[in-house]
Structure 1
Amino acid sequence: MVELLILILFVISGAATGWMGVHLLPQELLAAGTDVELVRWGLTSGGAVIGLVAGLVFRRLRLQLMRQVRTMPTDLLVSRAVGLILGLLVANLLLAPVLLLPLAGSSALVKPLAAVISNVFFGVLGYNLAEVHGRTLLRLFNPTSTEALLVADGVLTPATAKILDTSVIIDGRIRGMLACGLLEGQVIVAETVIDEMQKLADSTNLEKRAKGRRGLKLLTELRESYGRRLVINTTRYDGAGTDDRLLQLTEDTGGTLVTADFNLSQVAQVKDLKVMNLSELVIALRPEVQPGDELKLKIVREGKEESQGVGYLEDGTMVVVDDARTLIGSRHPVVVTGALQTPTGRMVFARLDEGTSAKTAKSGKPSRSGKGKSSKPNNPNERDTAGPR
């Protein structure tokens, strides 16, 4: 009943506007011999049709808004309402000089047109700003809160919004970071990222399709787990690709771009934007291994040089052990002798402890110094795959 009443009001408003709008037409169109009544009824019919279309659009928007309001947290609802009100207030303040201009005839149509455009533009702008910076906006209206005082004293730093790149969503590690509390603040997913994952999910390439579906599934799980923390940003930016649009979104919101793409992180740093590279974060979180540390390591394969063996730490760091080539498949204590940081990760060098080295020497196994028995393979048909020293 309410929806039908709203449609009737829109139709009546459109028809009334067309009926009375005939006086705003230029006098040239109402020359002698023109049937004014016919023009009036034409405008009335057109206004009624436009009012009906506007009523249907308003009805759909109203249903969507009510659906969101029922599931929206109170603080987010209040912040969006305040942002919308502030946007409309700014629009009308800027519009006041235009409304005071003495325009006559057809130029008078500029006033209602400017009023509609300015109110829509600034209203949407205030709504979007409140969606991203809602907590900061509410803090302005309650400056005596404990959180606001801590921020003012510099004890508490406000958390910036985290903007997710397609690479970190497909990677899947973002879920563990959120669960461990490594990421604070709101998590923003741009519409362009969702579009890119949808294209991947619809791709004919099996690998790309699997990545796209995995990313969309992860977003669904994050939405169910974190609710209001996950925000879908629907702002459409002009750009050559997803990376350009993400950089514009990061610049506009002042958030932190979370990515696993090395090139994208470098571009963000060049533009002086906040960026978090997951690859660099993983390297930074690896436990430090100092020369002289003793480890219990399993030798899993041969090294590049003769007599070297290779093992791995729990975090995946590769450890190259001297004189351990013949100990593949067994676990032995080793002593760290050094470490090397590379662009792709870290490499640790180690040697067998003195007890294991003595046992190896007594058994006649090969050593790096060349002492001991011959290092020829037992099977003469085997080929030595070790590289040059």
Structure 2
Amino acid sequence: MMHAAFKRGEQPGSNTMVEALILILFLISGSATGWMGVHLLPQELLDDVNAQWVRLGLTATGAGIGIVAGLVFRRLRQQLMQQVRTMPTDLLVSRAVGLILGLLVANLLLAPILLLPLAGASSLVKPLAAILSNGFFGVLGYNLAEVHGRTLLRLFNPTSTEALLVADGVLTPATAKILDTSVIIDGRIRGMIGCGLLEGKVIVAQTVIDEMQQLSDSNNLEKRGKGRRGLKLLNELREAYERRLVINTTRYDGAGTDDRLLQLTEDTGGTLVTADFNLAQVARLKSLKVMNLSELVIALRPEVQPGDELNLKIVREGKEDHQGVAYLEDGTMVVVENARSAIGERRPIVITGALQNPSGRMVFARLNKDSAPVGGGKESRNAQPARKSKNNERPTPESR
């Protein structure tokens, strides 16, 4: 314990020593540059002034620039070390590998240019091309590793447990989830990410952000509210899941947001998450992976089977003269036969069937004439919906 405490207390001192050493090195480098830089001045200028004073002035200027550069470098180092400490190992390795691959591609493409026999002012093309190509391909490799980092790691470590499970078909690799405008405005995507239902990176296309910004600036109050709600949700997701949420700034050519999202889904191989039924159908026609939020919600609803007995309130009349309409707790509509006269009352009903369609589910039932109305025919505040299935009904002692 004493040794561990000593180690923890020793770390801030070592960091301070390293930072002081960095400042000293930059100070010495700047001073030496100023001291030696006097030889770069024209000889005519040195003949007119005292060369010693010029040397001292350049040395002082170089020392000042060195201190400023050292402070900037120290700040950048602190930020980098903080990110490295909090960054997962796989993400750190994937970013490093992506950066290295980007620089490698840049230098391979740069080799023919460096071999060109350029002279004079045209020789500046070589260092300029080197800077631009390394910067561009380095950032490109870094960003690709940000989105496809885990896949990239499997290429370098094909014998890992995860890679073997994927190869055997036991484990399916997580694909990036591309959010549509509808699911962002809907708001339920926050809960899906929070409970772990959505795995992998969450990609928000720039075209989606532009569309929500247009909605936020709309003169229509409803559209403006939807746009602002969507932008607020994105900010909350960015704060809560900073590393998982990726803003894709690629601008695709297309007639609208839907076309651009389909192109992004096809290019990345991700899964399109949407609440738009038509967009989901188009994505399936193009053999793209799609997750329809409405279908997911329907799949998670509790099932009711023919023969189940429920106590529901008949809230309104149905399309037919004799029908009444009730609702389950999840909002599913129940059409009850011969229940028009019971509107406003809570009655026992028996499920007779259900109809499932892409837009939702409809349940059909009839009044249970063998049971008396709950609360004497009128709704009682203390009456609770009861559910009983004939298939699972426990026999009474008399029936035995």
What TM-score results when the alignment is normalised by the length of structure 1? 0.69
Are residues 173 and 269 of structure 1, via their aligned partners in 2, closer, same or farther at CA, if it must alter by over 3 Å?
Answer: same
1:128 aligns with 2:143: yes
Structure-2 separation of matches of 1:61 and 1:322: 78
Are residues 255 and 207 of structure 1, via their aligned partners in 2, closer, same or farther at CA, if it must alter by over 3 Å?
Answer: same
Are residues 297 and 136 of structure 1, via their aligned partners in 2, closer, same or farther at CA, if it must alter by over 3 Å?
Answer: same
What is the identity, as a one-letter code, of the residue corresponding to 1:188?
A: I
What is the identity, as a one-letter code, of the residue corresponding to 1:248?
A: Q
Structure 1 residue 323, shift from structure 2 partner: 1.3
Structure-2 separation of matches of 1:61 and 1:191: 33
What is the identity, as a one-letter code, of the residue corresponding to 1:281?
A: L
Structure 1 residue 112, shift from structure 2 partner: 4.8
5 Å-filtered alignment, 1:131-280, equals 131-280=146-295
Structure 1 residue 164, shift from structure 2 partner: 0.9
- Residues 102-151 of structure 1: per-residue CA shift (max 9 Å, x gap): 56678766655554454344223211210101122234444454333322
5 Å-filtered alignment, 1:103-114, equals 111-112=126-127, 114=129
Tell me the SS of whatever aligns to 2:370: helix
1:298 aligns with 2:313: yes
Tell me the SS of whatever aligns to 1:160: coil
Which consecutive unaligned segments of at least 5 residues does structure 1 have?
Answer: 20-58, 364-389
Structure-1 separation of matches of 2:272 and 2:152: 22
Structure-1 separation of matches of 2:106 and 2:291: 37
What is the identity, as a one-letter code, of the residue corresponding to 1:73?
A: M
Structure 1 residue 187, shift from structure 2 partner: 1.2
Larger CA deviation: 122-131 vs 279-288: 279-288
What is the identity, as a one-letter code, of the residue corresponding to 2:256?
A: G
Structure 1 residue 332, shift from structure 2 partner: 2.1
Is the contact between residue 349 and residue 365 of structure 2 (CA under 8 Å) also seen in structure 1?
Answer: yes
What is the identity, as a one-letter code, of the residue corresponding to 1:260?
A: A
Structure-1 separation of matches of 2:308 and 2:208: 45
Query: What's 1:90 paired with?
Result: 105
What is the identity, as a one-letter code, of the residue corresponding to 1:156?
A: L
Tell me the SS of whatever aligns to 1:347: strand
Structure 1 residue 82, shift from structure 2 partner: 1.7
RMSD across aligned positions (CA): 3.5
What is the identity, as a one-letter code, of the residue corresponding to 1:226?
A: Y
Tell me the SS of whatever aligns to 2:304: coil
Structure-1 separation of matches of 2:259 and 2:76: 30
Structure 1 residue 163, shift from structure 2 partner: 1.0
Are residues 326 and 151 of structure 1, via their aligned partners in 2, closer, same or farther at CA, if it must alter by over 3 Å?
Answer: same
What is the identity, as a one-letter code, of the residue corresponding to 2:359?
A: T
Are residues 143 and 310 of structure 1, via their aligned partners in 2, closer, same or farther at CA, if it must alter by over 3 Å?
Answer: same
What is the identity, as a one-letter code, of the residue corresponding to 1:135?
A: R
Query: What's 1:49 paired with?
Result: none
Tell me the SS of whatever aligns to 1:355: coil
Query: What is the percentage of aligned positions where both structures have the same residue?
Result: 79
Structure-2 separation of matches of 1:302 and 1:272: 43
Structure-1 separation of matches of 2:325 and 2:306: 17
- Residues 171-196 of structure 1: per-residue CA shift (max 9 Å, x gap): 00101212232211121122332232
Is the contact between residue 183 and residue 189 of structure 2 (CA under 8 Å) also seen in structure 1?
Answer: yes
Structure 1 residue 89, shift from structure 2 partner: 0.3
Structure-1 separation of matches of 2:247 and 2:241: 13
Is the contact between residue 69 and residue 77 of structure 1 (CA under 8 Å) also seen in structure 2?
Answer: no
What is the identity, as a one-letter code, of the residue corresponding to 2:333?
A: M
Is the contact between residue 295 and residue 358 of structure 2 (CA under 8 Å) also seen in structure 1?
Answer: no
Which consecutive unaligned segments of at least 5 residues does structure 2 have?
Answer: 1-21, 41-70, 378-400
Query: What's 2:51 paired with?
Result: none
Structure 1 residue 350, shift from structure 2 partner: 0.8
The aligned length equals: 311
Structure-2 separation of matches of 1:95 and 1:257: 38
1:73 aligned residue (87, 106, 109): 87
Query: What's 2:329 paired with?
Result: 314
What is the identity, as a one-letter code, of the residue corresponding to 2:137?
A: F
